[in-house]
Amino acid sequence: MKNYIAIDIGASSGRLILSYFENEVIQLEEIYRFKNKFRKEAGYERWDMDYLIQEILQGLSFAKEKDITSCYVGIDTWAVDYCLLDKAGNRLDQPIAYRDSRTEDAVATFSEKMPLATLYEKTGIQIQSFNTIFQLFVEEKDRLAKAETLLLIPDYLGYVFTGKAVTEKTNASTMQLLHAGTQNWNQDILQLLDITEALFPPLVDAGTVLGRLRQEDFIEYDLPEAVFVSIASHDTASAVLGTPGEGADWAYISSGTWSLLGVETTVADVSKEAFIANYTNEWGVHNTIRFLKNIMGMWLIQEVARMQEYYYSYAELVDMAETVPPFQQFVDVNDERFLNPTNMIEELQSYCQETKQTVPQTAAEIARCVYDNLALCYAAELQKLETLTGTTEKICKLHIVGGGSNNRLLNQLTADIANIEIEAGPSEATAIGNIVMQMICTGVFTDAAEARHAIHRSFDCSVHQPRPMDPMILQNYQLFIKEVSK
């Protein structure tokens, strides 16, 4: 029996999840967990890569203690951030986090050199100030001049453990440096940034074998014999692969720190309408495209909980929110003021005060405000998605996967407002997508459809049917968002 380990690292934590395929069912077991966060260092918010490497090695050592002597391994993380390496292959410094303020004015300044509509037409990627293109646009020139190689975070980790440098395509697409049609580096953009294609290792498909773990480089650890596979290394790409959708009439929300709402297609939409709606065309496995909208997501409630020093658990916040009357405020959850505020509670309160609405005061009221407006945003974007994709048939089912799929209140609110059946789960969709890509690579499954069928029978999901809802609530919300966006 083959063993598989998913290394799944997010903005706040990382896990190693062991898996194997037995009796036609995918088995999962979390074997190691560690915290993650960025911190201020040398003038920027940065990730600690040495810490992440150490934690991964500790997790693999723990796997060996559990008698896992051989395994396949895949790594997924967040997108857009990168490490710069010198000519000797050494990292210049710790990578700067996408939530750092250095790109605050980058979009406006960049647009003076290339219209944003042109950028979108070339790349198909939504305009977000933290995208790699804007990070490179404001990158310190002397730092960039010392760089021989640029590696996205999961590719860098794979390089550390195997010595092989690649640029995995699903993650590379988020950089906003690749041509949406040819799927090659866009030379016009590279020239504008004053860099060349030589900065990047070769582009590879998800499912490419990187090589064996170089145990000789980590002799202080007792490690299993491991073969690393370059899976769909952007966590959203893995989450979508791990979504048990069947047929063609479903959409998804990958609900975590970010909420990614979209459909799986095969042709990029770089139309003016898609640009205005700020939808993105990220690449998925097996030549698919994730046509989706990036929504601020559970970050809002995570920061609310943090500001309360985690006095209430997330489950308690849901219970408390259910006691509060719904829809007392309308909030544009995608406003950039919520990207990395000093205090999320005060930022939400200030927003409501500035827009002359009832200001939420208690923990229950603040949580209710977040959940209501996430659900309203999901429903509004689902309507927009149907219009953009020109579907002749209404999307019949919405799959919500990831950690946010455990939020029964938000799931039911979304079902009610969007008037759609919701299937929630699995919560570990990202790790599952990571695992099944390894399984496809090693012949357990032939393709994504077969893997998704196995996912559906392997993991329990909850179903939420829509209940009657006043349609004016959504319409009033959409009018409000349109007005405040002017």
- Which residues are identified as catalytic? 235
Three-state SS at 288: coil
Residue 74 DSSP code: E
Going by the DSSP 8-state scheme, the letter that residue 312 receives in this structure is: S
Helices marked H in 390-447: 408-418, 429-441
Contact in structure between 295 and 385 (CB atoms under 8 Å): no
CB 261 within 8 A of CB 303: no
CA angle at residue 54 from 51 to 59, to 5 degrees? Answer: 125
Comparing C-alpha atoms, which of 373, 307, 398, 395 is closest to residue 345? 307
Distance CA 29, CA 97 (A): 30
What sign has the CA pseudo-torsion 180, 181, 185, 189?
negative
Please state, in angstroms and rounded to a whole number, the distance separating the CA atoms of residues 290 and 382.
14
The answer to whether 175 and 133 are in contact (CB under 8 A) is yes
Q: By C-alpha distance, which of 422, 59, 429, 450 is closest to 237?
A: 429
Q: Which residues contact 84 (CB under 8 A, 6 or more apart)?
A: 91, 92, 93, 95, 143, 144, 146, 147, 149, 150
Determine the residue type at 174.
T
